[in-house]
Structure 1
Amino acid sequence: MWVTGEVIERKDWNDKLFSLKIKADVEPYIAGQFIKLSQIRDDKRIARAYSIVNPPGNDFVEVLAVAVEEGQLSPDLQSLNPGDKIEVTAKATGFMTLDEIPHGELQGQHLWLLATGTAVGPFIAMLLTDEPWQRFNKVVLVYGVRLAADLAYLDTIKQLSLKYPEQFIFVPIVTREDFAGALTCRIPEAITSGLLEQKVGIALSEEDSQVMICGNPGMISDAQNALLELGLTKNLRRTPGQITVEKYW
């Protein structure tokens, strides 16, 4: 079911990357889930899925998007301003949530969140809830982009570092230019080479790690294979493991 939402804020991170806050009557959701936004054009509904960036408990939803020139919807979304209307699905969905992570002895001590581009959105939502901090001793966010200007929500990430200085570890990866403190290789290569573990200071292991991966299909496939080589296994409801993935397109 679609409901009409109203844009209450737009933030431009660069000339293509932007966030929208949309006030809408959306049903309660779980951090990490996504909604769809749509417009009617030539009597046809054009809809795309976007992860919710803000945690549950607000009267709005926030999404992070990139305007693709040939995209059917994203250029129009980028042109929206406060007061403009947009259709929103009333119910969020998706399984990239902490509910899917094993509890108890199978949980492990460390939560690794691996994201590229706008796929950092669901992880920001999770990190703004209490659950990861209550369940895990260490929480690692690995955020890969091409250029430093593509890093969104750095202020939010900095606030999390200040709030959870003993638990939170942030690893930016910027592949096409230098950025202070960032790695420069792709996430899968950082895993395979051991550079990521060295940077973080803890090991990726079957015993202690839960890894959630969200981003472009190539990164997900390669990162998952690298983790499998380390002895981690896919996390499925019928066979709990350590690797949880969601393809972002």
Structure 2
Amino acid sequence: MVQWVEGHVVGKTTWSQRLVSLQVDADIAPFEAGQFIKLGLEVGAEAVGRPYSLVNAPGERPLEFCFSVVPGGPLSKRLAALNAGDSILVAPHASGFLILREVISGSHLWLIASGTGIGPFLSILKTAEPWQRFERIVLVHAARLVSELMYRDTISEFAETHTDKFVFIPFVSREPTDFALPGRIPQAIENGQLETRAGIKFSAAQSQIMLCGNPQMVDEIQQLLIERGLKKHRRREPGNISVESYW
């Protein structure tokens, strides 16, 4: 049974009809960048909770979470209706292994996300570790609409601060743009567009890839990379591909 601490919403960002971020003040245990934690609300006679990635870096406050509003879901619509001052339940401890401590050394770090899967990667990039460990960092974010490319100001700050190390590659699948790649990430891996835009290749010798987002996308990308000679990372058998599996 989850034990909760009471938190309070201190801010909200509505990115689109289906994407929302909440800023929350709550007293939780220390966590590692890339981890997730449960948020909950009292629904009827019980507390309903779901896991959400922390967008903020360890030590940064308030806590921040981004999530999709799921039609007919028991929680997300209620979370999206909260405003500053409202109470929210927060689990006291974070979990998850999509963290740099679990990633072996390499020259290039690829952070590939769709939708709200970008959250843990922003938390990681707000820390010093990735910039110290890797020569190049590629952040890939796929969305349906331009408005759903969340946290673009934060990403621009990474680019300005780490000009020689960082590249951001957005994808937008349902409307034309003059800056984002069209279509889906797996297709851009198959036809070489993603590597061309990044200026580097996927390599078993140099690449570490972290994936978070739509399960189908994650599975497709894993398979394509495995066909290219990369392998999934396991503690007993180190590899190139790390995946969050709390979906």
The yes-or-no answer on 1:155 pairing with 2:157 is no
Runs of 4+ in 1 over 4 A off after TM superposition: none
Structure 1 equivalent of residue 88 of structure 2: 86
Match of 1:54 among 53, 56, 59: 56
Deviations 1:172-214 (A, max 9, x none): 0111111222111211111111111111110100011000000
The yes-or-no answer on 1:208 pairing with 2:203 is no
Percent of residue pairs identical: 46
The yes-or-no answer on 1:70 pairing with 2:68 is no
Q: Which amino acid aligns with 2:152?
A: L
Output the CA distance in 2 between the equivalents of 1:58 and 1:181.
Answer: 31
Match of 1:40 among 34, 39, 42: 42
Secondary structure of 1:120 counterpart: helix
Q: Which amino acid aligns with 1:15?
A: Q
Please say if residues 215 and 247 of structure 1, whose CA atoms lie closer than 8 Å, have aligned partners that are also in contact: no
Secondary structure of 2:182 counterpart: coil
Residues 193 and 248 of structure 1, relative CA distance in 2, 3 Å threshold: farther
Alpha-carbon shift at residue 248 of structure 1 (Å)? 5.4
Please say if residues 34 and 50 of structure 1, whose CA atoms lie closer than 8 Å, have aligned partners that are also in contact: yes
Structure 2: where are the runs of 5+ without partners?
none
Match of 1:239 among 237, 240, 246: 237
Structure 2 equivalent of residue 174 of structure 1: 172
Q: Which amino acid aligns with 1:180?
A: D
Q: Which amino acid aligns with 2:34?
A: G
Output the CA distance in 2 between the equivalents of 1:235 and 1:10.
Answer: 36
Deviations 1:63-101 (A, max 9, x none): 001212211101111111111000000000100111110
Please say if residues 119 and 248 of structure 1, whose CA atoms lie closer than 8 Å, have aligned partners that are also in contact: no
Structure 1: where are the runs of 5+ without partners?
none
Q: Which amino acid aligns with 1:144?
A: A
Output the CA distance in 2 between the equivalents of 1:12 and 1:195.
Answer: 31
Output the CA distance in 1 between the equivalents of 2:122 and 2:137.
Answer: 12
Deviations 1:202-230 (A, max 9, x none): 01000110000001110011000010111
Structure 1 equivalent of residue 100 of structure 2: 98
Output the CA distance in 2 between the equivalents of 1:2 and 1:60.
Answer: 17
Output the CA distance in 1 between the equivalents of 2:210 and 2:60.
Answer: 25
Please say if residues 112 and 210 of structure 1, whose CA atoms lie closer than 8 Å, have aligned partners that are also in contact: yes
Structure 1 equivalent of residue 8 of structure 2: 6
The yes-or-no answer on 1:123 pairing with 2:121 is yes
Q: What TM-score, normalized to structure 1?
A: 0.96
Q: RMSD between aligned alpha carbons? A: 1.0
Structure 1 equivalent of residue 17 of structure 2: 15
Q: Which amino acid aligns with 1:247?
A: S
Alpha-carbon shift at residue 15 of structure 1 (Å)? 2.1
Structure 2 equivalent of residue 146 of structure 1: 144
Structure 1 equivalent of residue 106 of structure 2: 108
Output the CA distance in 2 between the equivalents of 1:120 and 1:59.
Answer: 19
Q: What TM-score, normalized to structure 2?
A: 0.97
Secondary structure of 2:77 counterpart: helix
Q: Which amino acid aligns with 1:32?
A: G
Output the CA distance in 2 between the equivalents of 1:24 and 1:246.
Answer: 24
